[in-house]
Amino acid sequence: MIEYFKPQYIGITISYNYGDVLKYTIDKNINLFKKWYIITDETDQETIDIIKKLNKNNIIEIAFFNFRKEINRGKATSTVQRMVHLLYPNDWIILIEADTFFTKELEAFLKEQSISLEDFNNIKNSQPILAYTGRIIVKDINEYDYLIKLNKERSAQYQKGNPAAGYFQMYFHKNYYYPEEIEGWPSDLVFAKKFKYLDKLPYPVIHLGEINRWKKAKTYKGL
């Protein structure tokens, strides 16, 4: 008899002085993750308080990085990747930005996956694959809620997706990390180029984070 099991997902997100956006996306993402590491600075009390308030079943772990000393997306991500890869060698890693959340279709698709033990062993021994997806861009959460009520979510701007775009990257192989020497973009591009194969998922994410779309957003845009 063939044994099957459900993949488990570990999230990694940077949210430095971005709590005013993160508070909208935590609830929409938290139910997929086995564990979700949100990276912030120890002085970012707004983000810390929001996580404590919305942390269902202690899914979220806060990982501190000294952004006051250096605004370095690559190093912050790599530091947490190295810890997570050791703690969760058999789980899938999802890098997702603080202003991005799963559509219901994508969340259901990922939860529905099942893998045989044989296929899992094949994955571990195969060439590395980076999964990515398209995105639906809306200017803010109010526009998204309005479109949902009208059942016109897809009327928002849709982009087919880019594996080099850091709003969503998913992978299994644990021997690749973000480049620490690159502070902001294109650290996600350099990371994506390390993978031999790319796999586009069938459903998109919602992305709220176009530059200048969020008037209240205080995060450094190089992240």
Amino acid at 79: T
Mean pLDDT to the nearest integer, 80-89 = 98
Q: Is residue 30 part of a domain?
A: yes
When the pLDDT of each residue in the chain is averaged and rounded to a whole number, the result is: 87
Task: Give which of 8, 13, 2, 3 is closest to 40, Cα–Cα.
Answer: 13
Q: Is residue 222 part of a domain?
A: no
CATH of the domain at 150: 3.90.550.10
Mean pLDDT to the nearest integer, 148-154 = 63
Mean pLDDT to the nearest integer, 79-88 = 98
pLDDT for the residue numbered 2: 76
**pLDDT over 70 for what percent of the chain?**
87
pLDDT for the residue numbered 186: 86
Counted domains in the chain: 1
Q: Is residue 124 part of a domain?
A: yes
Number of neighbouring beta carbons within 10 Å of residue 185: 16
Q: Is residue 213 part of a domain?
A: no
pLDDT for the residue numbered 155: 55
Q: Is residue 122 part of a domain?
A: yes
pLDDT band at 220 (very low <50, low <70, confident <90, very high): very low
What is the C-alpha to C-alpha distance for residues 43 and 46, in angstroms, rounded to an integer? 9
pLDDT for the residue numbered 20: 86
pLDDT band at 44 (very low <50, low <70, confident <90, very high): very high
pLDDT for the residue numbered 151: 63
Q: Answer yes or no: is pLDDT of 41 > 70.
A: yes
What is the C-alpha to C-alpha distance for residues 9 and 17, in angstroms, rounded to an integer? 25
What is the C-alpha to C-alpha distance for residues 92 and 128, in angstroms, rounded to an integer? 12
Q: Is residue 217 part of a domain?
A: no
Q: Is residue 220 part of a domain?
A: no
Domain that holds residue 52: 4-207
Q: Answer yes or no: is pLDDT of 222 > 60.
A: no
pLDDT band at 150 (very low <50, low <70, confident <90, very high): low
Q: Is residue 218 part of a domain?
A: no
